[in-house]
Structure 1
Amino acid sequence: MKTQRAIRKFLFILNSLVAILLLFSYFLPFISPKTFPALAVLSLGVPILIILNIVFFIYWLLRRKKELCISLVTLILGFNYVTSLFLISGKSNIKENNLLVMSYNVKGFSNLGWKNKSSTSVKIFDFIKTEDPDVLAIQEYYINSGIDHGFPYQYIKTKEPKSKFGYAVFSKYEIVHSGSLDFEGSQNNTIFADLKIDSDTVRVYNVHLESLGVNPNKENFGQENSEKLYRRLKRTFSKQAQQTALFLTHKNAWKGKSIICGDLNNTAFSWVYNEISDGMKDAFLEAGRGFGKTYNYPYPLRIDFILTDESFVTDNYKTHRIQYSDHFPIMANLH
């Protein structure tokens, strides 16, 4: 009996700690990394905090113990927060004449290194042609003149004039204006293209905020020790905050319709996402299903997004689990 009471007490304390951390994380979207960069690191751990609270709730429920209230109340208080991780049902109302948008971080067309970029790019564009999106935003694009991308209009911006590495927007609709934000001191960038769609001009942003620089296949994500990893993540989130401010200044000057695609290198539980998605609709939340993770790693990270302004309705959203990159392509059917 003493052993059972000790185990129950230990689990109660552990459950309470996990619940408190999750409750605290509800405030993270409102705390800028420029103010407290260390807190931004916690946003990456939110998915596991949610899962652990669900596990604890089920554990106490099966044993009919009152401790189930700890995680239950915590999860209810953050219900909209929790649904950013997992959705039970979605939409599948694919209609004709909808706008099909795809966003894809292709990692230079090779998740195995640069040596296979030619064959990987062929596979990726074969997949894209099969899905047949109207608009395609690619992060970490690598120019390969031998590939037929199949789109009549394109805007490609490399970080350096002689470089082949950059960002691209491909479109079936005419691009009437385009440009680049040219993030300073970073290999990442954001570009935009204004598309003439019927009587409207729709601005499509292709966003790629500062990369986390982690390697999921190595210990400590490729860092020598956890302390160095922690410091690097803090620097990354601080730079993301600066890039977000620059992006929002540019975006807020645009008064027309807009769609934001890209890799934020941060989760839906972060200040970065909260700022960029303000006044926008998340296509995954509108029509997605399941975990919606976009990073090819066992941990459920959703760091790639398609956001639309209020004028669009998302009829269908899908994450394609193809392994040509360390990211999965995402698609949204809009009208």
Structure 2
Amino acid sequence: MGLLSRDKFRLNYFNRFIFTINLLVLFIAYSIYLNYIFKPSEIHYFNFISIGYPILFIIVITFMFYWLLFSWRHFILVTLLSLGAFYPMYLSYPVKNLSKQVHGEGQLTVMSFNTHGFRADGTSELIENNLADIMLLQESREKQQKHWSAKKLDRYYKEYFGLLTIYSRYPIIKTNVIESTANTGAGMGAYADIDLGFDTVRVINLYMEPMYIEKALVKDVITSDTAEEMEQTSKKLETKLVKGMVMHQSQLDELIPFIRRSPHPVILGSDLNATPLSYEYLKITKYLNDSYIMAGEGNATTFHGFKFPIRIDYLFHSPELEVVDAKIIRKKFSDHFPVIVNYKLQ
């Protein structure tokens, strides 16, 4: 009986090769979880996997379909082995939210939005049509919006810090830039303690250092004619990514104390320039919850500047807050979509 069972799992040489490649792909996919352990300055390759994970996931699904056609026993085996590969995709595509438990009305709405410098006509109107109690804008200099905000957001308290803007319907009692001792280029953070009347919250507006990855560079890697040309362009891409990731690590080292030592519940809005299960995401979610994942459903991707959309814009919150509702406004005036979350204090 035992020999008969083993015979049913026996594969020909070709399918053994396919199965071996399948296991190798799963090994690479699961190594994304090593971002829990290693910093980009130590081993950056695991953080690369978080960027290209959707491609890896498609390959994983393709293998599952292959085994479904050729061996249902191996399909069951591969499906069981692949279960952990679904979670990183769930963080970008929570088709059915399994965490939502809070019902009723919220007390505070917050928006995080990279406006891309208000370059596109309609960006300001998009904000006007989706006003929140607190709005954290990135790539939004004062001069790009001062005239508009003076007319349309005259009832808001306003704070400007270079590329960052904080708008609040409630009084801002303390605010400042989050100083960085590292040379982080364009990346920066700022915080504001806001008096809601019934409580005080600390909001943090965070713009992580951009990677400066141009579409032309990505296209050059894909369309390289020779192995030497591909190696050169890939090296350029890798250098930019590693530089950005190491800067992110330095930014987070400066940021985390503001979260841990905050005397108030924290809400952090960010263009993180990093995808779910990246080192950056895991570092923040060690202290704060991912707001959209707590109550949002459907497509959570926020950046559409390349061929395939990715999720790099977030709102995070302290455990003292609950999420009633979360949504993403899918209107293309910036290369990012706004994220809006409705909170309730416990």
TM over 0.5: yes
Corresponding position of 2:282? 274
Offset at residue 62 of structure 1 (A): 4.4
- The corresponding residue for 1:288 is 296
- Displacement of 1:323 after TM fit? 1.1
Task: Kindly report the root-mean-square deviation, in angstroms, between the aligned alpha carbons of the 2 structures.
Answer: 2.5
Checking the alignment, whether the CA contact within 8 Å between 1:294 and 1:329 is kept in structure 2 is yes
SS in 2 for 1:177: strand
Name whichever of 204-213 and 6-15 sits farther off.
6-15
For 1:61-140, list aligned pairs within 5 A.
61-69=68-76, 71-78=78-85, 80-90=87-97, 95-96=104-105, 98-110=107-119, 120=121, 123-140=122-139
Pick aligned residue for 1:226 from 222, 231, 234: 234
Q: 1:82, CA displacement in angstroms?
A: 4.1
Distance in structure 1 (CA, Å) of the matches to 2:135 and 2:58: 33
Change (3 A) 1:94 1:109: farther
Q: Which has the higher helix share?
A: 2
For 1:330, the equivalent position in structure 2 comes to 339
> What SS is found at the alignment partner of 1:57?
helix
Determine the structure 1 residue equivalent to 2:197.
198
Aligned residues: 314
Structure 1 residue 94: Cα displacement: 7.7
Given the alignment, which residue of 313, 328, 334 partners 2:322? Answer: 313
Call closer, same or farther: CA 1:95–1:218 in 2, change over 3 Å. Answer: farther
Could you say if the C-alpha distance between residues 38 and 63 of structure 1 is closer, same or farther in structure 2, counting changes exceeding 3 Å? Answer: closer
Identity %: 24
SS at match of 2:92: coil
Q: Deviations over 1:6-39 (max 9, x none)?
A: 7645543332221111122222232111211333
Residue equivalent to 2:5:
none
Highest CA radius of gyration, 1 or 2?
Answer: 2
Could you tell me how far 1:233 is from its partner in structure 2? 0.7
Alignment partner of 1:157 out of 158, 161, 178: 161
SS in structure 2 at match of 1:299: coil
Amino acid at match of 1:56: F
State the one-letter code of the partner of 2:124: F
Question: What residue identity is the alignment partner of 1:99?
Answer: L
Q: Structure 1: which 5+ runs fail to align?
A: 111-116, 159-165
Answering whether residue 247 of structure 2 is matched by residue 239 of structure 1, we say yes
Change in Cα spacing, 1:261 to 1:57, as seen in structure 2 (3 Å) is same
| Unmatched segments (≥5 aa) in structure 2 | 1-10, 222-231
Q: Could you list the per-position Cα deviations for residues 209-251 of structure 1 after superposition, in whole angstroms to 9, with x for gaps in the alignment?
A: 1111112x32426787111111121111111111101101222
Higher mean C-alpha deviation, range 295-304 or range 185-194:
295-304
In the alignment, the residues of structure 2 paired with residue 313 and residue 250 of structure 1 have an alpha-carbon distance, to the nearest angstrom, of 20
1:174 and 2:171 are equivalent in the alignment: yes
Per the TM alignment, residue 156 of structure 1 is displaced from its structure 2 partner at its CA by 0.6
SS in 1 for 2:129: helix
Equivalent AA in structure 2 for residue 61 of structure 1: L
Q: Distance in 2 between matches of 1:17 and 1:300?
A: 26
Q: Distance in 1 between matches of 2:255 and 2:173?
A: 20
Is the Cα–Cα contact under 8 Å of residues 106 and 342 in structure 2 kept in the other structure?
no
Identify the residue that residue 40 of structure 2 maps to in structure 1.
33
Query: Residue 98 of structure 1 contacts residue 334 of structure 1 at CA under 8 Å; is this kept in 2?
Result: yes
In 2, distance between residues paired with 1:56 and 1:199? 54
Contact 2:208-2:248 within 8 A present in 1 as well: yes
